């Protein structure tokens, strides 16, 4: 093993296998840190010092080996940005073409942590058991130059693509409550399509992701019944990508982040958070046993490490689905049920992680659990420390995190009105503990919560506080550095003339529209054709079945919608918050719904 000056890959391509070496983990790298990683076969994040400690597996030599020689180039002295990949070549062992690694799964891309284990295997005579292998290539140097260029171009567009995605999801959710959750999966699907087409132009990537999100979420009129099959099909496709062509996701603008050495393939914490909202919507909209099957598919895609997924995602998604099940249950939410649910999450997590490890899977979760309680709590402490350092690394990160947390608090206090939003909020809180990307989790979690707030609103009512509803959305945009000026609407100083007060029925008609009733119910007098809830043209029939006077029945159905459930419709779909409306508004709704023309 020799550390040499930077060299042309073409000089070794004809004699062995060549690749691009990622020298560290984090935004910066030092030569001392890269050398320590090279000797020990592990990396340490730049925020934690960037210089790993522990047992030295080998010391680089100044001479070529007699059987196999690995040539490696390292970063220059001092601290440099970790956005450059360095040449590596292996001569011998029958390797030719492009170097491959089971730890990166991107042909030609090698982590510096791969080198020491390869040396250990090669010294023991194990060419075939080495983590480094090769893939035939007619022009390896040219392909690596193309890969290097593509990774660099995609990395430049990644941050702006995330900002554009936040705007798109926030705005389409505002325009169409159902569109926000669809936009999340549409954007990721668009990112994969762009990657498959080999597109790397800055504006093409950003506008392509935005275009996919807008067209597939707003232009296509998806009914509520399509949410579950649509999201399920997406997760199945994503699982197949992870299994058979994970490189497609690795070089996608919304995919993994191989440029910084932290995540070469599979599901990142960012994608995990972004896709949680549509996953919750899909499971919530499904009926048993389909909801359980959808949840199982999502958990396999998110947590199966053989597919390159994220071990921490198992915990996050299990918590989310458990909270969703508790909130949708008819049984009261007691402390005992909460404790039992938490225990079930722990048991299921260990069972899934154990099964994953038994099948040959490997992730930070399988390693932590396999090492016993000490290793598990040590890993948790390490991630919390790294999260703290990430948030406090710059003033911008502090501001971004604070604003995103504020948005989450605003949603939790003022806009939380359904089981999926509750599940998302709890899962985001858990993600702060088991993952180490708190800033990204915070702002993507906020935008996911906003999408679910609007999704819940479609299935219940229009938002009564549109100004307050926009607060978290605008705050998240500001956190991404894209705030905009507000508008000011002058108030009249003088009242000229008077307007007669509307009749109760007329006021009720306006309330029927403003509260979103027309999105769920059919009612001829309001021109409403919704099919989520019962047909309100049949209210006299429903009142007769409930053995109540019409007006009393309608009023009770508004303030306590679960008191009488028409056959064929589930409980807990219509929110129970209408009882907080002023008495005159409730009476106006009753008057409109029971007027003679409506019967």
Q: What is the mean pLDDT of each run of 10 residues along the chain (599 residues)?
A: 88 91 92 92 90 88 77 91 93 90 91 90 72 89 94 92 90 87 95 95 94 90 87 95 91 89 85 95 90 93 80 88 88 81 82 71 63 69 84 90 92 87 95 90 93 78 43 48 38 38 71 74 81 83 85 85 80 74 82 70
Output the pLDDT for position 502.
57
Q: Say what the pTM is.
A: 0.76
Output the pLDDT for position 486.
36
DSSP state of 501: P
Residue 64 to residue 59: CA distance in whole angstroms: 13
Residue 266 to residue 593: CA distance in whole angstroms: 53
Output the pLDDT for position 499.
40
Output the pLDDT for position 125.
67
Residue 260 to residue 256: CA distance in whole angstroms: 10
Question: What does residue 316 show for φ and ψ, rounded to 5 degrees?
Answer: -60, -50
User: What domains are there in the chain, each with its CATH number?
Assistant: 2-138 (no CATH), 226-479 (no CATH), 504-598 (1.10.760.10)
Residue 419 falls in which region: left (phi positive, over 0), alpha (psi -120 to 50) or beta? alpha
DSSP state of 379: H
Q: List the beta bridge partners of residue 61.
A: 2
Which residues contact residue 468 at a Cβ distance below 8 angstroms, ignoring those fewer than 6 apart? Answer: 410, 414, 415
Could you tell me the two tokens for 103? Answer: 């730890």
Output the pLDDT for position 362.
64
Residue 252 to residue 162: CA distance in whole angstroms: 12
Output the pLDDT for position 357.
67
What crossing angle do the helices spanning 290-303 and 335-358 adopt, rounded to 10°? 50
The residue with tokens 């009105």 is 417
Which residues contact residue 68 at a Cβ distance below 8 angstroms, ignoring those fewer than 6 apart? Answer: 90, 91, 92, 93, 122, 127
DSSP state of 332: -
Residue 41 to residue 104: CA distance in whole angstroms: 14
Q: List the beta bridge partners of residue 257.
A: 263
Q: How far apart, in Å, do the first and last CA atoms of the chain sit?
A: 87
Output the pLDDT for position 364.
61
Which residues contact residue 252 at a Cβ distance below 8 angstroms, ignoring those fewer than 6 apart? Answer: 154, 191, 192, 194, 195
Residue 147 to residue 136: CA distance in whole angstroms: 16
């Amino acid at each position: 093993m020799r550390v040499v000056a930077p060299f042309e890959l073409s000089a070794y391509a004809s004699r062995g296998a060549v690749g691009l070496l990622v020298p560290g983990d984090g935004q910066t790298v030092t030569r001392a840190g890269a050398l320590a990683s090279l000797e020990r076969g592990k990396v340490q994040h730049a925020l934690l010092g960037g210089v790993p400690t522990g047992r030295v597996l080998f010391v680089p030599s100044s001479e070529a080996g007699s059987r196999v020689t690995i040539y490696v180039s390292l970063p220059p002295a001092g601290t440099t940005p970790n956005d450059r990949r360095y040449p590596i070549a292996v001569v011998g062992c029958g390797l030719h073409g492009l170097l491959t690694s089971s730890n990166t799964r991107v042909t030609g891309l090698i982590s510096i942590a791969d080198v020491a284990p390869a040396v250990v295997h090669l010294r023991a005579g194990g060419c075939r058991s080495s983590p480094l292998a090769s893939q035939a290539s007619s022009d390896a140097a040219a392909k690596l130059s193309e890969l290097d260029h593509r990774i660099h171009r995609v990395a430049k567009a990644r941050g702006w693509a995330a900002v554009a995605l936040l705007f798109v999801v926030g705005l389409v959710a505002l325009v169409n409550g159902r569109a926000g959750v669809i936009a999340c999966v549409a954007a990721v699907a668009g990112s994969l399509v762009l990657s498959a087409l080999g597109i790397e132009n800055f504006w093409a990537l950003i506008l392509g992701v935005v275009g996919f999100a807008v067209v597939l979420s707003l232009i296509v009129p998806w009914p509520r019944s399509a949410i579950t099959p649509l999201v399920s099909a997406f997760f199945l496709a994503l699982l197949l990508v992870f299994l058979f062509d994970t490189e497609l996701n690795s070089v996608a603008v919304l995919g993994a982040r191989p440029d910084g050495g932290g995540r070469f393939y599979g599901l990142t914490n960012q994608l995990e958070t972004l896709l949680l909202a549509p996953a919750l919507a899909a499971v919530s909209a499904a009926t048993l046993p389909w909801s359980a099957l959808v949840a199982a598919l999502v958990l396999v895609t998110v947590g199966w490490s053989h597919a390159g997924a994220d071990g921490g995602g198992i915990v996050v998604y299990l918590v989310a689905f458990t909270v969703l099940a508790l909130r949708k249950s008819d049984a009261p939410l007691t402390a005992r049920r909460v404790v039992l649910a938490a225990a079930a999450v722990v048991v299921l997590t260990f069972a899934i992680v154990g099964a994953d490890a038994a099948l040959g899977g490997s992730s930070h979760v399988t390693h932590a659990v396999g090492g016993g309680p000490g290793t598990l709590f040590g890993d948790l402490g390490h991630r919390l420390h790294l999260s703290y350092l990430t948030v406090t690394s710059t003033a911008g990160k502090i501001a971004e995190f604070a604003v995103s947390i504020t948005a989450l608090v605003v949603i939790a206090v003022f806009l939380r009105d359904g089981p999926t939003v509750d599940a998302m909020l709890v899962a985001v809180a858990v993600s702060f503990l088991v993952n180490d990307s708190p800033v990204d989790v915070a702002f993507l979690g906020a935008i996911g919560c906003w999408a679910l707030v609007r999704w819940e609103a479609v299935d219940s009512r229009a938002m009564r506080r549109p100004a307050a509803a926009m607060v978290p959305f605008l705050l998240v945009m500001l956190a991404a550095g894209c705030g905009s000026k507000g508008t000011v609407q002058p108030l009249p100083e003088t009242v000229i003339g008077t307007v007669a007060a509307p009749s109760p029925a007329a006021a009720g008609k306006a309330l029927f529209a403003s509260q979103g009733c027309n999105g769920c119910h059919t009612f001829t007098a309001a021109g409403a054709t919704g099919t989520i809830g019962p047909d309100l043209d049949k209210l006299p029939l429903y009142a007769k079945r409930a053995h109540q006077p019409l007006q009393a029945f309608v009023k009770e159905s508004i303030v306590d919608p679960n008191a009488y459930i028409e056959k064929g419709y589930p409980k807990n779909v219509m929110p129970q918050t209408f009882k907080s409306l002023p008495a005159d508004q409730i009476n106006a709704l009753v008057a409109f719904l029971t007027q003679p023309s409506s019967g």
